[in-house]
């Protein structure tokens, strides 16, 4: 799926930006510039999630949907903060997810240019690269610790209340209020999507599937917020209810399956110690089914229909043709997959869409991001095993990541939903350093000795070591370190 105003070689021919939206963007930009760094995430998220991406500013031949404008404001604030305060863009430095995502974005852009070999492709891929790296870098800059992560999730909870209200209004009245704003897809918002007599609401999103997927992938985040700190119970409950309404108001199978996947992952907490056995059991079961079934095992996807009118057979066909036509796309993608079968142009699958458009390497890099996300969260959960609330928090984040991995089988993210995806990756990055920080603190014991008053003041904030690990050797190492840094100040043992 590619939105009309961002389609390759297309797009609106003139600026299509509502005056009301322009005012909101200016207000959001001012707040992004003047608020403290830890509060900038609030106006950015509110504007990014509630303003539809069909509002476009055209500068020359370059298209700037509202998300790109907000990213520009955010990047200006990010670099100005870095210059003025020497703040690192990535808290605690780069990690493997950062490196893999940058490689994924850059290789996708390069392969797209090599595939098409024209100026229009260069412009399109440059815009996509700007959006991907801009949103991700901004999320990494704004979400630096647990407090920032909690603020992001709380903000999503209250934003979701607004979106849920709009979608309920769609269901009741039969039209979307966003049609009043105009924009490149005003007619799309003004026309109802109906399946088997049921209105498929979509709120501010570019498609009903994306709207429902947004609700499904944020659902586990509110459990993470609740379990981390009971003080966040109110926004967590509000978010749980709102995300549930959003998911089911779209009357779409993909969001419901992702929602169920998140719940299933949450419910596996009691058997967390058996996850390796469960994973291998699933693999062995799928391989066995593949050996005995007449159709390939991924044909099971075509049997899923939770709404009575699902296009699950199309999802099966996408995966099947993607595998059968490996030689068409493995190098740097293919210009067209329309000859793969009926309706195959609609690559409503993040995995297939990535490989089909960019080749095998970006496809593998996408999988690597998911794998490392689980790896970091599992390590953080194990390190926090003695703190039940913190361990549950990390488990809920795992559930949110799993919900995204499931959703990728039925939709690709091409509107503001990407903000939530990159926000989750930024939250995962805050979990990477937590176990290491605890280990570092444990490796800095203070010997049980009497020190001079001045030295006692300097070490009073360092946690005392367990008596079992104190030793003369540690005392000597401590003394040598102190004398090296402070040659003029004595260490006195009384």
pLDDT digits (tens, 9 = 90+) for 133-152: 999 999 999 999 999 999 99
For residue 373, which of 408, 332, 348 has the smallest C-alpha distance?
A: 408
For residue 266, which of 312, 208, 223, 204 has the smallest C-alpha distance?
A: 223
Cα 102 vs. chain centroid, distance in angstroms?
14
3-state secondary structure of 251: coil
Which of residues 433 and 100 earns the better pLDDT score? 100
Does the structure show a pLDDT above 80 at 191?
Answer: no
Reported as a pLDDT band with limits 50, 70 and 90, residue 257 is very high
| 203 burial via Cβ count (<10 Å: 0-12, 13-18, 19+) | buried
Cβ atoms of 429 and 95 within 8 Å: the answer is yes
Q: What is the pLDDT of residue 91?
A: 82
Weakest-pLDDT range from 27-41, 196-210, 213-227: 196-210
The average confidence (pLDDT) of the chain is 85
Distance of alpha carbon 335 from alpha carbon 358, whole angstroms: 10
Q: What is the pLDDT of residues 194-217, one digit of tens each?
A: 776 778 899 999 999 999 999 999
Does the structure show a pLDDT above 90 at 176?
Answer: no
Does the structure show a pLDDT above 50 at 4?
Answer: no
Rounded to two decimals, the pTM is 0.84
Question: 304-321 burial, b if ≥16 CB within 10 A, otherwise e?
Answer: beebeebbbebbbbbbbb
Reported as a pLDDT band with limits 50, 70 and 90, residue 323 is very high
Q: What is the pLDDT of residues 370-389, one digit of tens each?
A: 999 999 999 999 999 889 99
Cβ atoms of 392 and 269 within 8 Å: the answer is yes
For residue 225, which of 331, 153, 121 has the smallest C-alpha distance?
A: 153
| 279 burial via Cβ count (<10 Å: 0-12, 13-18, 19+) | exposed
Weakest-pLDDT range from 149-158, 268-277, 305-314, 339-348: 305-314
Q: What is the pLDDT of residues 444-475, one digit of tens each?
A: 444 444 545 554 555 444 444 444 444 444 44
Across the range 57-77, mean pLDDT stands at 92
Reported as a pLDDT band with limits 50, 70 and 90, residue 184 is low
Reported as a pLDDT band with limits 50, 70 and 90, residue 438 is very low
Reported as a pLDDT band with limits 50, 70 and 90, residue 11 is low
Q: What is the pLDDT of residue 447?
A: 46
Calculate what percentage of the chain has a pLDDT beyond 90: 61
Q: CA angle at residue 85 from 83 to 90, to 5 degrees?
A: 80
User: Residue 463: how many CB atoms within 10 A of its CB?
Assistant: 10
Q: What is the pLDDT of residue 416?
A: 94
Q: What is the pLDDT of residue 479?
A: 56
For residue 182, which of 416, 413, 14, 43 has the smallest C-alpha distance?
A: 14
Does the structure show a pLDDT above 80 at 229?
Answer: yes
Across the range 219-230, mean pLDDT stands at 94
Across the range 125-132, mean pLDDT stands at 96
DSSP-derived pairing of the beta strands 194-195 and 198-199: antiparallel
Q: What is the pLDDT of residue 487?
A: 53
Q: What is the pLDDT of residue 488?
A: 54
The listed range with the strongest mean pLDDT (76-90, 234-248, 316-330, 445-459) is: 234-248
């Amino acid at each position: 799926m590619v939105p009309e105003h961002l389609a390759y070689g297309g797009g609106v021919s003139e600026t299509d930006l509502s005056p009301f939206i322009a005012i909101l963007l200016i207000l959001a930009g001012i707040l992004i510039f003047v608020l403290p760094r830890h509060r900038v995430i609030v106006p950015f998220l509110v504007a990014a999630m509630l303003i539809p991406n069909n509002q476009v500013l055209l500068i020359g031949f370059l298209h700037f949907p509202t998300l790109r404008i907000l990213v520009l404001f955010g990047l200006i604030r990010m670099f100005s903060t870095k210059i003025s305060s020497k703040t690192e863009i990535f808290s605690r430095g780069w990690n493997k997810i950062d490196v893999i995502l940058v490689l994924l974005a850059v290789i996708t852009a390069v392969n797209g240019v090599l595939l098409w070999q024209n100026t229009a492709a260069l412009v399109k891929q440059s815009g996509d690269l700007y959006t991907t790296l801009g949103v991700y870098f901004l999320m990494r800059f704004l979400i630096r610790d647990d407090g920032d992560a909690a603020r992001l999730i709380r903000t999503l909870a209250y934003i979701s209340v607004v979106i849920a209200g709009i979608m309920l209004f769609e269901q009741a009245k039969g039209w979307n209020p966003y049609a009043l704003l105009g924009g490149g897809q005003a007619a799309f918002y003004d026309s109802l999507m109906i399946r088997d007599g049921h209105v498929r609401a979509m709120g501010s999103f570019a498609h009903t599937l994306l709207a429902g997927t947004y609700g499904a992938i944020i659902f586990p985040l509110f459990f993470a917020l609740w379990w981390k700190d009971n003080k966040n119970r109110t926004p967590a409950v509000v978010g749980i209810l709102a995300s549930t309404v959003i998911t089911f108001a779209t009357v779409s199978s993909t969001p419901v399956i992702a929602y169920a996947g998140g719940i299933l992952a949450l419910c596996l907490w009691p058997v967390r110690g058996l996850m390796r056995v469960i994973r291998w059991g699933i693999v062995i079961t799928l391989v066995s089914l593949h050996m005995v079934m007449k159709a390939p095992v991924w044909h099971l996807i075509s049997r899923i229909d939770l709404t009575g009118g699902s296009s699950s057979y199309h999802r099966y066909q996408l995966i099947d043709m993607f595998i059968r036509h490996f030689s068409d796309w493995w190098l740097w993608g293919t210009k067209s997959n329309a000859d793969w079968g009926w309706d195959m142009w609609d690559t409503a699958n993040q995995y297939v869409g990535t490989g089909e458009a960019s080749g095998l390497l970006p496809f593998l890099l996408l999988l690597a991001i998911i794998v490392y996300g689980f790896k970091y969260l599992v390590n953080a959960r194990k390190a926090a095993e003695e703190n039940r609330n913190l361990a549950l928090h990390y488990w809920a984040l795992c559930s949110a990541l799993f919900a995204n991995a499931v959703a990728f089988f039925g939709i690709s993210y091409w509107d503001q939903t990407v903000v939530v995806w990159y926000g989750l990756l930024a939250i995962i990055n805050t979990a990477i350093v937590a176990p290491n920080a605890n280990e570092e603190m444990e490796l800095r014991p203070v010997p049980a000795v009497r020190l001079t008053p001045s030295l006692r003041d300097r070490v009073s904030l360092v946690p005392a070591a367990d008596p079992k690990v104190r030793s003369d050797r540690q005392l000597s190492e401590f003394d040598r370190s102190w004398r090296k840094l402070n040659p003029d100040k004595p260490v006195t043992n009384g």
